Amino acid sequence: MDPNPREDTIARLQSNWTWVPDWIDASNAGEAARLVTFRRQVVIDKTPPECLVRLSADTRYKLSVNSERVCVGPSRGSDKLWFYDTVDLASHLKVGKNVIIIQVLRFFNNVVAGIPFARNAMPGLTILGQINGQDISTGRQDTEWEGRVEDGVYYPTGSKWDIFLHTYERVQSSAARQWQKLQRYRLIGHFGILSPWRLRPRMIPLAETTVAPFKAVRDAQSEHSAQEWTEFFHGQPLTLAPGTKHRVEVEYTTHSTAFVRLSASRAHSLGSKVSFTYSEAYQPQPNGRKGDRTKREGQGLSGPSDTYEFSGNGNGEVESYEPFWWKTFRFLVVEIEVGPDPLELLAFEATQTNYPMDVTAVWNGGSDEMDKMWEVSVRTMRNCMFDGYSDCPFYEQLQ
């Protein structure tokens, strides 16, 4: 929460709302949202002990510094109240050039999609802060922030797996639009109507992150063995031959709410792509009751998915794909098609994300079975602490 929620801070944030020019806040048929990326570089000669930045966006943002995810926000607002976050960037900064990236997922105001995600009539991004005396606030005429609409990223509606969140992505390898200078909003109240964001400091803590507990590779339909894929998921690079296809089923120890990220060496040519399918159980039969959720039988694993086409045109630098929003899964299906060049996989990460929860109760169940029920109950409560004022995301994402 903001340690200094003064009205002048709110007023400055309110005056800093900005966006990319020529934005059309309406969807094509079957689209829920569009992703916009904002970028700024800062060069420093020493790292500060503290670097507080305040920011907000409509609808949701993801802030990264030097390719490291810092936080996702803001917490859910409404047309009556919108929240901003206070974030300390100090531990993410380094001497020399620092690149700040903010991705904003704007759900269109004219579509019934992304039901848990409130939005206002207008898209926007606002930032207030300094890094070693350099003002990184938006809304100024001389700002060094620039932005672009990610034309190759789609958030489709209509999937039988996703009738609620609409955060599943289709990322095509298309030529990116040029970076543009930002456009400042002129939010002037009239006829007693306030500007569309009535800002207040965040009222709940930022989410915590831990490593999601990988358990095993359950199946590998690949020229590489399950053991080789297991070593990859434990951090060993793996090179896939040109023109090959691979399907790997991965189990995690517990049902996870996590960000997933795949990193590879950027190939010279287009043609490689990956998909992640998120599942809670092996399905014995179509629309059937679930029994032993870890038993490989019947219909196997199914669920919503993200797809990503690698960009190519590279010289060996790292290319990483992390879907914008976190996902829920016990099992993960990774499918990869390799183009005309070898694809060197460098790392796969699954990062558990939850709001902090201190368990103050003590349970004495009297048996291992009852103790396990307590552990499952606590874990389920933690995973279902979701700022969307909705049912547990496990049910909403995985039915």
CA-based radius of gyration for the chain: 22
Share the mean pLDDT of the chain.
Answer: 88
Q: How confident is the model at residue 289 (pLDDT cuts 50, 70, 90)?
A: low
| Res 194: pLDDT | 52
Q: For 5-9, 158-162, 261-265, which range has the lowest pLDDT when averaged over its residues?
A: 5-9
Tokens 């196997």 appear where? 300
Q: How far apart are CA 281 and CA 278, in angstroms?
A: 9
Q: How far apart are CA 298 and CA 285, in angstroms?
A: 5
| Res 231: pLDDT | 98
Q: How far apart are CA 172 and CA 309, in angstroms?
A: 5
Whether 117 shows a pLDDT value over 80: the answer reads yes
pLDDT digits (tens, 9 = 90+) for 329-340: 999 999 999 999
| Res 3: pLDDT | 59
Q: For the domain made up of 7-204, give the CATH fold.
A: Jelly Rolls (2.60.120)
pLDDT digits (tens, 9 = 90+) for 56-88: 999 999 999 999 999 999 998 887 899 999 999
Q: For the domain made up of 209-354, give the CATH fold.
A: Jelly Rolls (2.60.120)
* H helix intervals, 79-133: none
Q: What is the greatest pairwise CA distance in the chain?
A: 68
- Section 7-15 average pLDDT: 91
pLDDT digits (tens, 9 = 90+) for 343-395: 999 999 999 998 888 899 988 878 988 888 888 888 888 888 776 655 665 55
Q: How far apart are CA 346 and CA 56, in angstroms?
A: 33
Q: What percent of the chain has pLDDT over 70?
A: 89
What does the block give as tokens for 175? 């030529």
What does the block give as tokens for 277? 């399918």
Q: How confident is the model at residue 5 (pLDDT cuts 50, 70, 90)?
A: low
Whether 188 shows a pLDDT value over 60: the answer reads no
Q: How far apart are CA 331 and CA 293, in angstroms?
A: 10
Residue bearing the bigger pLDDT, 268 or 130: 130
| Res 163: pLDDT | 83
| Res 381: pLDDT | 83
* H helix intervals, 97-201: none
pLDDT digits (tens, 9 = 90+) for 215-271: 999 999 999 999 999 999 999 999 999 999 999 999 999 888 999 999 999 888 889
- CA 69 → CA 90, 102, 169, 248, distances in Å? 13, 10, 18, 26
Provide the 8-state DSSP code for 151. T
Cβ-contact 85, 5 below 8 angstroms:
no
Q: How confident is the model at residue 195 (pLDDT cuts 50, 70, 90)?
A: low
CA 317-322-327 angle, to 5 degrees, is 160
DSSP string, 336-391: EE--SS-EEEEEEEEEEEE-----------SSHHHHHHHHHHHHHHHHT--TTSSS
Q: How far apart are CA 250 and CA 218, in angstroms?
A: 6
Domain with CATH 2.60.120.260 in the chain: 7-204, 209-354
Q: How confident is the model at residue 121 (pLDDT cuts 50, 70, 90)?
A: confident
Could you give phi then psi for residue 47, rounded to 5 degrees? Answer: -90, 135
- CA 203 → CA 94, 199, 240, distances in Å? 30, 12, 47
pLDDT digits (tens, 9 = 90+) for 316-333: 689 999 999 999 899 999
